[in-house]
């Protein structure tokens, strides 16, 4: 987590001040529930809320205490007692540190999820706008990096829209799965705390009760969460890579916006590099780097160990902050993307009509030729064009075997570019759900 790739709202979720405020709320809500159950005095619960609610927790003071106690939750509780006074003896009764830590992490990941979902919504809006803008703009489709058949640039963007719609749904699911609390005490048996305390805290924090915990919330939930972030990051990289390829000098069908005064190279003044999408590729790798440690955190010893703790202290902030930045940057790239329809059309025509080879193949089979015979006829006329030795339609018209099956007029009709786009509206309806 570095400032260069961080945005304030997401960074605030992971600040020490936010963490300690959540810790206090967990403890205070627990006291509130215990007071209702008659475990602690009502006056004490009210005093804890009043004094702790007004307190401005001193991060340096807590760190100072922790250097002695070697325990972060105890350091916080000691500092909290400095504000609350004698009633602090009622705080944390029957609870264990993980009750606070795991519940707090759930709150933070839930808040982070809300930001990420909003990020995806902004990206979807940009993709939809640009997809409709270039809905019928012809461009060449490529397989293996080689010209295949015509498509539209709008369909490329519609594909990305559908992919990030799935990403959004996955984030919503991950948000719900991670949103559980455990206030169940040591090893999760509720021996020293009433389960109704857990229910009260969960309700107040907008969480669900973990059905069965040990001393920690089961880490398969966290593994699924970070795996989801990894998949979303891969979608970011896929779209970023597409843009990077389209900006190559030999292609130049689209490019990142290049602002006034921007410099592309310290050595070559002519350069306009796809630096933002290259950056997104790197950021995606960093988000995915959190997935394997999260998976390895699932296998803890018995009712708990803390091998997961150091991992989550890093990957929680790093993965969510990085993905937040990446999604926002990608939305900006799409929103400002410079598109060159004329170059798309030039590239589409670059292979002298070979992009229509399948239509010719199918037409020959419709005339009675076997698929093998038709394929051989089309390929023998295509290969010279590939080598720059003529125009595909011209060679087909001159081929006696082809001419026996297809007239010149029929061949010309097979080179109609619009034929390939007759179902674009159908695809857009499927993707965007609009008439």
- DSSP for 371-422 reads HHHHHHHHHHHHHHHHTTSS-HHHHHHH-HHHHHHS-HHHHHHTT-GGGGGT
Q: pLDDT exceeding 90 applies to what percent of the chain?
A: 95
Q: Give me 276's structure tokens.
A: 């933002």
d(CA 16, CA 187): 27
d(CA 259, CA 176): 41
- CA-closest candidate to residue 146, choices 250, 64, 29: 250
**Annotated catalytic residue 370:** no
- Does residue 434 have a pLDDT over 80? no
Catalytic hit among 147, 213, 245, 265: 265
Catalytic hit among 79, 88, 92, 144: 144
**Annotated catalytic residue 308:** no
Over residues 208-234, the pLDDT tens digits come to 999 999 999 999 999 999 999 999 999
d(CA 420, CA 403): 24
Rounded to an integer, the average pLDDT of 325-345 is 98
Helices (H), 179-269: 195-205, 220-246
Over residues 249-300, the pLDDT tens digits come to 999 999 998 888 888 878 888 888 999 999 999 999 999 999 999 999 999 9
Over residues 127-148, the pLDDT tens digits come to 999 999 999 999 999 999 999 9
- Does residue 425 have a pLDDT over 80? yes
């Amino acid at each position: 987590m570095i400032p260069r790739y961080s945005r304030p709202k997401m960074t605030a979720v992971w600040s020490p001040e936010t963490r300690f405020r959540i810790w206090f709320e967990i403890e205070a809500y627990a006291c509130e529930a215990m007071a209702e159950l008659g475990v602690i005095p009502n006056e004490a619960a009210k005093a804890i809320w009043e004094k702790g609610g007004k307190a401005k927790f001193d991060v340096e003071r807590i760190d100072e205490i922790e250097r002695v106690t070697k325990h972060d939750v105890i350091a916080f509780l000691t500092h909290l007692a400095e504000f609350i006074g004698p009633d602090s003896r009622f705080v944390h009764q029957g609870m264990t540190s993980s009750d606070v830590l795991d519940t707090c992490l759930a709150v933070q990941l839930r808040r982070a999820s809300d930001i990420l979902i909003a990020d995806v919504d902004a990206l979807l809006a940009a993709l939809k706008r640009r997809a409709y803008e270039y809905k019928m703009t012809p461009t060449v489709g490529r397989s293996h990096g080689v010209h295949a058949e015509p498509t539209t640039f709008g369909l490329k963007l519609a594909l990305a829209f559908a992919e990030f719609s799935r990403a959004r749904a996955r984030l919503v699911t991950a948000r719900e799965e991670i949103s559980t609390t455990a206030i169940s005490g040591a090893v999760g048996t509720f021996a020293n705390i009433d389960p109704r305390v857990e229910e009260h805290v969960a309700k107040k924090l907008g969480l669900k009760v973990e059905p069965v915990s040990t001393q920690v919330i089961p880490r398969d939930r966290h593994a699924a969460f970070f795996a989801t972030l990894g998949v979303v990051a891969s979608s970011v990289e896929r779209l970023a890579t597409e843009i990077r390829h389209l900006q190559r000098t030999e292609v130049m069908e689209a490019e990142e916006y290049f602002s006034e005064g921007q410099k592309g190279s310290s050595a070559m003044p002519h350069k306009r590099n796809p630096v933002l999408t290259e950056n997104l590729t790197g950021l995606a790798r960093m988000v995915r780097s959190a997935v394997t440690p999260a998976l390895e955190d699932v296998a803890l010893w018995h009712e708990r160990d803390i091998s997961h703790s150091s991992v989550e202290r890093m990957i929680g902030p790093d993965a969510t902050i990085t993905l937040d930045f990446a999604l926002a940057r990608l939305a900006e790239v799409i929103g400002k993307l410079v598109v060159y329809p004329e170059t798309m059309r030039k590239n589409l025509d670059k292979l002298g009509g070979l992009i229509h080879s399948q239509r010719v193949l199918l037409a020959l089979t419709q005339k009675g030729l076997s698929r093998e015979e038709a394929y051989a006829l089309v390929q023998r006329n295509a290969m010279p064009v590939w080598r720059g030795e003529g125009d595909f339609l011209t060679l087909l018209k001159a081929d006696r075997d082809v001419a026996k099956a297809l007239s010149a007029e029929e061949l010309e009709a097979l080179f109609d570019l619009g034929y390939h786009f007759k179902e674009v509206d159908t695809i857009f309806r499927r993707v965007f759900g609009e008439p």
